[in-house]
Structure 1
Amino acid sequence: MKKILQASLSAVLVLSLVGCGSTKDEAIYQDSIDAYVNEIDMDYAYDFTKTLSTDTSLHDNSLGFRTSGSDAEHRTANYLAKEMKAIGLKNVEKIPVNVDKWQYNDASLTIEGTNIDLMSVSYMVNGTDENGITAQIVDCGTGFAKDYEGKDVEGKIALVGVDQFNESWIGGYIYEAYEHGAKALVTYDLDGYGRFSDDDHQIQDVCAEDIMPTTIITMSEYKQIKKALKQGHDMVTLKVDSVMEEGNGTSYDVVGYIPGKSHDQQIIFAGHYDMYFTGFQDDCSAIGTIMSMAKTMIDSGYVPENDIVVVAHGAEEWGATGTEFDWTRGAYELINNVHPE
């Protein structure tokens, strides 16, 4: 990982300095390039990324979530603003933007007559009240209309295997369960993006309206439930501490500057700092990279031709309900409603 970060830090600087990369330009800027490379601090890049990813004070729950407008996202914005100032970025701003808030804190799924007690993971919808939903759970196969034939799920909890890569996005499964009267939906992953093992949670943005509590469990956990159902244990209690507030959230885009010789143009280094499951790769490593690039430029004494703007934006993993463009909310609000210039 450190080698990948170092390659990124070096390559992007060269592109920033030499433009189209001609031999003449490279010679002109060689001193700046050498000074920059000498100041690269891979320990800072890695340690900063790791802190942003794994520091539990920057999480909302034990799974390492930091989501749109949540308490953890607000704490992390403060942390990023403080760090931007510490490395020497100028005019650091913590810019509030309007989002749909989603904060997932905890969940549990228990089955009467068994010792099954799982932490199912909520999608970007509201959860249950503190008492949860106690009802029958019905195995509805792969969650399409034909899988509900002959099954009564009215007022019950539907259990569905999903494949969001080859079959349908999660919204399709939610709406199908809703049409058949289910009170909540519990899913498990059959196949999909980045599937690694039967112990993975494969959550994706819902791209759907907030119509029922919806969670995901692992394939291994599904096998436990399937065994319990065969033994006649089908009464479950689902508790989900998940809060979605449409139009009532505030996220922060954190922005800092390396002033250039000219302010007519800007070069923007950007990434998002919200995440699921500690998100080292998506997208803490990007924030670690752009922060390290900025720190190295400042430490090397480099003065860019144009302003360099470092942007850490929130509300990318999710920030708007009922749309496939939920991942654009933090950036969209910044460039359309706050800083269109």
Structure 2
Amino acid sequence: MSEKPAQIKGGYIRAMIAVAVMALFSCESTITVQPSEWSGKDQNLQSNKEIFGYIKDLTSFGFRRTGTPAGKKSAEYIRDRFRSFGLKNVELERYDTHRWEALEWKLAVDGKAIDSFFMPNTMRKEEFGSFSLGPRGLSTEIVYVGEGSDDDYKNIDVKNKIVLCDIRFYDVEWRDFKGMSYFTYDPGKTLEKGMKHENPYVSKNYPSCYYRAQKNGAAAFVGVLVDYFDRNTYYNEDLSLSSEFGMHGYMKIPGLYLSRSQGQAVKNILNNKNNRCPANLKFSVKIEQASAWNAVGYIPGKSKDIILIHSHHDTAFTGAVQDASGVAVVLAMAKYFAQAPAELRDKTLLFAALDSHFFGYTANKGFIKKHSDLGENIILDVCVEHIGLEAKNIDGRLKVTDKCEPRGLIISENRQLISITESAVVKNNYGRFTLIPTFSPLGVCSDAFYIHRAGVPVVSLISAPLYIYDTCDTLDMVAIDELNPTAATLIDIVEAADNLPTEEIKNTSLIFQHRITYYWWLLGKIVEMVFG
């Protein structure tokens, strides 16, 4: 007898059970929370042009890396704005950190100079110090290892050689956002045909491929950005200090990035040389003790319970979108709430611009410890980052559109917070938007990561434009028309949260209806990844 009827019957029963369970939990009520009684937003919230003015000021300081004069100047600028708005207890908080700086980097293959860019946080042999390959550099063979898997390294001897390796990125896809989200909002139907581009946050194989090279005795590592648009100026965060890769320790061998075209040129040379070719690499760095600076200020409420509103002010380069745009929205919100009648505000608001996003989040961790030691009760973190234009990688060329990059708001599993966020998004017609749970595969991939880890519920707005870690993150990449709407949407969320009892904000619990939908999507995604 055929087993097919039994399979169909079993599938039918499972489907009916699923429908019944979903129906059961769909009876859970939706909560709508009204914003504050103050109706001064239209008159008192700054315009797009005024908010953009903060971005222009911040980008004028230069490369705002932690531990640099420009980094401290940005913190002082934010502090001074907080004071001018009338915030209380405004100060700069200093935290010990480190600063990694590349002093020299050059690559030549078979006697030909190859345009390259330093791989941040590499050649860190010890916590602090200066390290160099010397005036003549490293002369040895360069070998290509594909994507640098364990099998790749088993088949090729890389000891004392320079490794050339392809670096791949995962894709960002709108259909995945829809699958994992609580709520999506695109009233203009701008994403009906979908959206897909490389995710500059997350590589498929880096730094794992780097650490394999280091483990196998390679003298240096050269990564080809094959999925990136045709540039090599890519400056991500210090992954050696992340929770995922920290167990491997420092990235001790020197590293360089090549663009896809320069990488292909080197691979062509190697193809003609049987994957054995002389190369010379010069590299020197210094790692020194430095100070990270947070700017903070308060607007007192009737209660000592605190809603934190923050972004980060440090960046790799001039960082118009990352993250002068986030700071600018925080400043606009601070000025708005400073003008609001105090009697309408229940909770205390704490505004902050944090440092060290690119160097291990030491200022974030220090901020959490300091404010915990002060006995402060931070009940919610509203974090905002990356208000930028959408960009596409068209055959290696970066094409910027006139639309904003689709944005996600990562939110704790709390019915009240989800409900007030949905209401604020619809009220402000805040499109190209998705509401993502903190337990999704993305996690809390934002400056709110450690605050969330400390047990604070989060509402964290972020997007992933392709250029976010590149020198081309300049003023013309900012989604100027979205600055005021972003501030307005987040203000409505804060005002509604201010009206909620503290225990209802801090109470996170499973939302079974969404969990079922989410795990069904996740199962389908796993099947797709395994079986193609």
For residues 62 and 321 of structure 2, what CA distance do their matches in structure 1 show? 16
Identical columns (%) = 23
**Counterpart selection for 2:368 from 335, 338, 341:** 335
Alignment of 1:1-341 (within 5 A): 21-22=33-34, 28-30=37-39, 32-37=40-45, 40-52=46-58, 54-55=59-60, 57-59=61-63, 66-104=64-102, 107-114=105-112, 116-126=113-123, 128-129=131-132, 131=135, 132-165=137-170, 168-191=204-227, 195=228, 197-199=229-231, 201-205=233-237, 206-207=239-240, 208=245, 209-210=249-250, 211-230=252-271, 234-244=277-287, 248-260=289-301, 262=302, 264-298=304-338, 300=339, 302-303=341-342, 304-319=345-360, 328-337=361-370, 339-340=372-373, 341=376
Worse-superposed segment, 142-151 or 40-49: 142-151
Checking the alignment, whether the CA contact within 8 Å between 1:108 and 1:239 is kept in structure 2 is: yes
Residue type of the alignment partner of 2:354: H
Structure 2, unaligned runs of 5 or more = 1-30, 125-130, 172-202, 377-532
Task: Give, in whole Å, the separation in 2 of the partners of 1:137 and 1:87.
Answer: 57
Structure 2 length as normaliser, TM-score? 0.49
Aligned residues of 1:318 and 1:329 also touching (Cα < 8 A)? yes
Does the CA-based 8 Å contact 1:187-1:215 persist in structure 2? Answer: yes
Instruction: Tell me which moved more, 125-134 or 331-340.
Output: 125-134
- What is the identity, as a one-letter code, of the residue corresponding to 1:182? A
Equivalent residues of 1:272, 1:312 under 8 A apart: yes
Specify the code of the residue in structure 1 equivalent to 2:231: D
Alignment size in residue pairs: 292
Asked which structure has the greater RCO (Cα within 8 Å, sep 6+), the reply is: 1
Q: What are the superposed Cα offsets for residues 254-309 of structure 1, whole Å, 9 maximum, x if unpaired?
A: 1122344x3522222101112235433332211110112212344x4543443322
3-state secondary structure, aligned to 2:71: helix
Counterpart CA distance in 1 for 2:69 and 2:41 is 40
SS state at 1:221 partner: helix
Cα distance in 2 for partners of 1:107, 1:44 equals 40
Compute the displacement of 1:212 (Å): 1.5
Q: Distance in 1 between matches of 2:283 and 2:69?
A: 17
Answer yes or no: is the 8 Å Cα contact 1:109–1:120 preserved in 2.
Answer: no
Contact 1:123 1:216 in 2 (8 A): no
- Name the CA distance, whole Å, in 1 between partners of 2:233 and 2:323: 18
Cα distance change, pair 58–158 in 1 and its aligned pair in 2 (3 A): same
Contact 2:96 2:292 in 1 (8 A): yes
Q: Is the 8 A contact 1:122 1:242 kept in 2?
A: no
Cα displacement (A) at 1:241: 4.4
Residue 49 of structure 2 aligns with an amino acid whose one-letter code is: D
- Which residue identity does 1:29 align to in structure 2? W
Contact 2:117 2:232 (C-alpha < 8 Å) held by counterparts? no
What is the alpha-carbon distance in structure 1 between the residues aligned to residue 283 and residue 331 of structure 2? 36
CA offset at residue 169 of structure 1? 4.6
User: What is the rounded CA distance, in whole Å, between the counterparts of 1:264 and 1:87 in structure 2?
Assistant: 21
Question: What runs of 5+ residues in structure 1 fail to find an aligned partner?
Answer: 1-18, 60-65, 320-327
C-alpha RMSD over aligned residues: 3.1
Q: CA–CA distance in 2 between the matches of 1:171 and 1:160? A: 11
Call closer, same or farther: CA 1:285–1:175 in 2, change over 3 Å: same
Query: Deviations for 1:93-131, whole angstroms, at most 9, x for unmatched residues?
Result: 1111233433345533233522x2423132223365153
CA distance in 2, matches of 1:181, 1:169: 18
Change (3 A) 1:222 1:297: same
Q: Which has the larger Rg?
A: 2
Pick closer, same or farther for the CA change 1:174–1:157 going to 2, 3 Å. same
CA displacement at 1:311 relative to structure 2: 0.4
Cα drift, residue 69 of structure 1 = 3.6
Distance 1:71 1:228 in 2: 42
Secondary structure of the structure 2 residue equivalent to 1:29: coil
Could you report, residue by residue, the CA deviation over 1:40-62 in whole angstroms, capped at 9, with x for unpaired residues? 2322211212332x32x431xxx
Other structure's SS at 1:170 match: coil
Contact 2:116 2:256 (8 Å CA) reproduced: no
Provide closer, same or farther for how the CA distance between residues 227 and 75 of structure 1 changes in structure 2, counting only shifts above 3 A. Answer: farther
1:122/1:240 contact within 8 Å kept:
no
Distance, in Å, in 2 between the alignment partners of 1:105 and 1:47 is 33
Alignment partners' CA distance in 2, 1:213 and 1:91:
44
SS in 2 for 1:58: coil
CA contact (8 A) 1:126 1:244 kept: no
TM-score normalised by length of structure 1? 0.73
Q: Is the 8 A contact 2:222 2:255 kept in 1?
A: yes
